Amino acid sequence: MARVMNFGAGPGTLPLAALERAQEDLLDFDGTGMGICEHSHRGKAYSALHAEIKALLTSLLGLDESWEVLLLQGGASAQFAQIPMNFLGPEARADYVLTGTWGEHALAEARRMVGGRARVAGTSGTGPGAVAHLGAGYTRVVRPEEVTVDPGASYVHCTSNETVHGVQFGHVPGRWFDAGAVPVVCDVSSDFLAAPTDLSPFSLVYAGAQKNLGPSGLVVVLVRKDFLARAVTHLPNIFSYAVQAKNDSLYNTPATLSVYLARNVLSWVGDLGGLPAMEARNHGKATTLYAAIDRAAEFYRAPVEKTSRSVMNAVFRLPTEALENAFVAAAEKEGMFGLKGHRSVGGIRVSMYNAVEPAWISALAAFMDDFARKAG
Amino acid sequence: MARVMNFGAGPGTLPLAALERAQEDLLDFDGTGMGICEHSHRGKAYSALHAEIKALLTSLLGLDESWEVLLLQGGASAQFAQIPMNFLGPEARADYVLTGTWGEHALAEARRMVGGRARVAGTSGTGPGAVAHLGAGYTRVVRPEEVTVDPGASYVHCTSNETVHGVQFGHVPGRWFDAGAVPVVCDVSSDFLAAPTDLSPFSLVYAGAQKNLGPSGLVVVLVRKDFLARAVTHLPNIFSYAVQAKNDSLYNTPATLSVYLARNVLSWVGDLGGLPAMEARNHGKATTLYAAIDRAAEFYRAPVEKTSRSVMNAVFRLPTEALENAFVAAAEKEGMFGLKGHRSVGGIRVSMYNAVEPAWISALAAFMDDFARKAG
């Protein structure tokens, strides 16, 4: 079958060039006579790949020597646990800024470990207790004045883009809220590499691969060396960022095939012009899509405040659930897939990750115009 | 380049049929118009695959309803930590039976968490303190009379096959040692699916994929429900076997591409005749290889006692390191790769995992005869 237009929220679509490149390398990686996943993670071929992907990340993101680049497993969900494991000693506290479901998950995991020592520093949710009311009404990011960071916290955690609610912080992380001298930890899974990003306000960022980076099974953790120096030392080696950093992420066997595919994706990002090109591409797609929503604002009701709209995930409702189901079914007939909203909130969600082609968004916008005219 | 003969210890060679099948599915999985790693882990296509791989494992291993089949991330090394996290409450103790490096690693990780409450119940190592002397002289498995299991231990941990030392327990796990009523936990990473196995003595077995199952980034954990019921509940959700079991291993996004490839490998095992066919295939290879060693026993010195010889990893030394290097170099010229012993012990190691072709072992045996004649 021809490849369809995939607007899924993740695992999401990947660049065709990255996948095609992998077809041969699965059987014979770089002329070695072994497929990429058959190479020892300590051999020459994989070592070169491991160095290459770190160099690509370093160069695309403009990382300096203050950062460690870790290639780990378990996705962002494992980091929800590993961050408190690494940075919360027996008496230490942490702050969480909530702008959607994934921040709530991160907080809930921390609370399982340290209880009330993990605190909500600010939330844009409308539920009475964010974690108890998963998915409660996040229609914007927090305003700076809604956040009070505990100066004694070991870190403050936030989420740059919330995929379920379609809520994204703006371009300048330094203006999100005032963290004072508290290290800022950010889950950037769903807008990693989507635009040039000023990483200077952050001490640690992490990204599950399955949005803009590659297949699931890989998570990139970027951590500043001075923050890493504050990590506790009494935890299992396998979950210790310091141990992984000391071993160049080769303390155990990494997910070599996922690393390989992410290398192909990063290469493709570079070929297209790097992060400035991604920003232009993504801005164009989001402009087209939100314009289609706003042209039929009575029919496509987008709950998110305009200044908090996500460039990666646009969410909206139709007048009835029956119309939403009809929308999804009609779109699939046109070769457009992955449009159902997250099961916790319903509605429609359009994910516009880096690899989503601008032409797909144009086709979807035209479809939306047509569907609204016929059904509205 | 033509595919070479890959005797690497892991990530190891995979069946060509499994890799070829993946080439098309990377771009268009089962005619869906999306590549396998672009599918949502909650969509129809991946759900069917997830069910299929569990069914294949269940059928190949003859698992009954008493077992949970978990598909997790982080490899066996993550289980070294997760097993004590799940099964050792504040006062609980665990026993470890050591027959090589990997068991030592498992013990060391447990000790980081619970100190002396993780105890050596028996060892075939000759070093004064196994963990302090990594790789110390394991030339056989333990004898039953060398193991004393603490009846109050929450579990006793062992390793069915030690890849670094080439030491493997025999076919009948019930005879390895007397565990009494203590649940037996076994790292089966490197001989998983190599032969029909009586799982009745075990309460939990786990296998990192990158030997007999697929690419790294996936670990299979088989755990009995009655043992799982004893797990502690206060640990991060992401590392909880009970949480993963309750969520059918979909608590978080699984490593979908690794799961997919493992499905292809399991299919291939089935096509060849299942585990009895693997046993015959592996027995034939090991017989051929050890015969080549024994024909030149003065030249190829195999340290492991014959009854403990591994069917998966044969280790031997040549008279000098210079000859070992010459052996590896000459073998590579003949298209034979991955023969260097583990960096901690040196020498030569021949891994003969399921996917290693019998013809490769025959070719290697002929090469060994020739090399010994010329150099010996």
Q: Domain map of chain A by residue range?
A: 17-270, 274-375
Fold topology of B274-375: Aspartate Aminotransferase, domain 1 (3.90.1150)
Residues across chain A: 376
Quick one: pLDDT at residue A269? 98
Say what the pLDDT of residue B131 is: 45
Chain A: residue whose CA lies nearest to B217: A255
Q: How confident is the model at residue B344 (pLDDT cuts 50, 70, 90)?
A: confident
Nearest CB neighbour to B237, from listed A13, A109, A217: A109
pLDDT reported for residue B112 = 95
Output phi, psi for B61, to 5 deg: -95, -5
pLDDT over 50 at B129, yes or no: no
Query: Of residues A25, A95, A102, A191, which has the active-site annotation?
Result: A102
Q: Say if residue B163's pLDDT is above 60.
A: yes
State residue A106's pLDDT score. 97
A211 is catalytic: yes
Residue B252: which of A81, A161, A236 has the closest Cα?
A: A81
**B11 cis-preceded (ω within 30 degrees of 0):** yes
* B58 CB within 8 Å of a chain A CB: no
For the stretch B8-59, pLDDT in tens is 999 999 999 999 999 999 999 999 999 999 999 999 999 999 999 999 999 9
Q: For chain A, say whether B93 makes contact (Cβ under 8 Å).
A: no
Contact flag B10-A239 (C-beta cutoff 8 Å): no
**Per-residue pLDDT tens for B265-280?**
999 999 999 999 999 9
A70 bridge partner residues: A221
Residue type, A130: A
- Is the model's pLDDT at B125 over the cut of 70? yes
Q: What is the mean pLDDT of chain B?
A: 95
pLDDT (0 to 100) of residue A131? 45
Type of residue numbered B162: E
Tokens of B163: 């890849």
What pLDDT is stored for residue A181 in this prediction?
97
Best mutation target among B16, B216, B251 (most A Cβ atoms within 10 Å) is B216
Residues 6+ apart with CB under 8 A from A355: A12, A13, A14, A15, A18, A212, A265
Give the per-residue pLDDT at B52.
98
The pLDDT tens digits of the residues spanning A290-328 come to 999 999 999 999 999 999 999 999 999 999 999 999 999
Contact B74/A74, CB-based, under 8 Å?
yes
Segment B139-145 shows an average pLDDT of 96
Is B16 an 8 Å CB contact of chain A?
yes
Q: What is the pLDDT of residue A12?
A: 96
Q: What pLDDT shows up at residue A127? A: 61
HEC secondary structure over chain A = CCCCEECCCCCCCCCHHHHHHHHHHCCCHHHCCCCHHHCCCCCHHHHHHHHHHHHHHHHHHCCCCCEEEEEECCHHHHHHHHHHHHHCCCCCCEEEEECCHHHHHHHHHHHHHHHHHEEEEEECCCCCCCCCCCCCCCCCCCCHHHCCCCCCCCCEEEECEECCCCEECCCCHHHCCCCCCCCEEEECCCCCCCCCCCCCCEEEEEEECCCCCCCCCCEEEEEEHHHHCCCCCCCCHHHCHHHHHHCCCCCCCCCHHHHHHHHHHHHHHHHHCHHHHHHHHHHHHHHHHHHHHHHCCCCCECCCCHHHECCCEEEEECCCHHHHHHHHHHHHHCCEECCECCCCCCCEEEECCCCCCHHHHHHHHHHHHHHHHHHC
- Between positions 158 and 197 of A, the ones with CB within 8 A of B are none
Give me the interface pTM, i.e. the ipTM.
0.96
CA atoms within 13 A on the CB side of B182: 27
pLDDT for the residue B1: 75
User: Which residues in chain A have their CB less than 8 angstroms from residue B42's CB?
Assistant: 343
What pLDDT score was predicted for residue B136? 59
3-state secondary structure of B364: helix
| pLDDT number for residue B345 | 84
Q: What is the pLDDT of residue B376?
A: 73
CB of B346 closer than 8 Å to CB of B324: yes
Q: Tell whether B341 is within 8 A of chain A (Cβ).
A: no
pLDDT digits (tens, 9 = 90+) for B282-305: 999 999 999 999 999 999 999 999
The answer, as to whether pTM is greater than 0.80, is: yes
Shortest distance, CA A234 to any CA of chain B (angstroms): 7
Q: How much is the pLDDT for B135?
A: 45
Cβ of A215 within 8 Å of Cβ of B251? The answer is no
**In the prediction, which pLDDT does A274 show?**
98
Positions of chain A with pLDDT lower than 50, given as ranges: 129-135
Question: Is residue B166 helix, strand or coil?
Answer: coil
Confidence class of residue B213 from pLDDT cuts 50, 70 and 90? very high
Q: Quick one: pLDDT at residue A132?
A: 38
Other C-beta atoms closer than 10 Å to the C-beta of A362 total: 15
Q: Long-range contacts: A269-276, Cβ < 8 Å, 24+?
A: A269/A60, A269/A193, A269/A354, A270/A56, A270/A59, A270/A60, A271/A17, A274/A60, A275/A60, A275/A61, A275/A193, A275/A194, A275/A195, A275/A196, A275/A197, A276/A195, A276/A196
Which residues 232-291 of A have a C-beta within 8 angstroms of B?
234-239, 251-258, 261
Q: Which fold has domain A17-270?
A: Aspartate Aminotransferase; domain 2 (3.40.640)
- The C-alpha atoms of residue A2 and residue A29 are separated, in whole angstroms, by 26
Asked if B216 and A255 come within 8 Å (Cβ–Cβ), the reply is: yes
Return the pLDDT at A136: 58
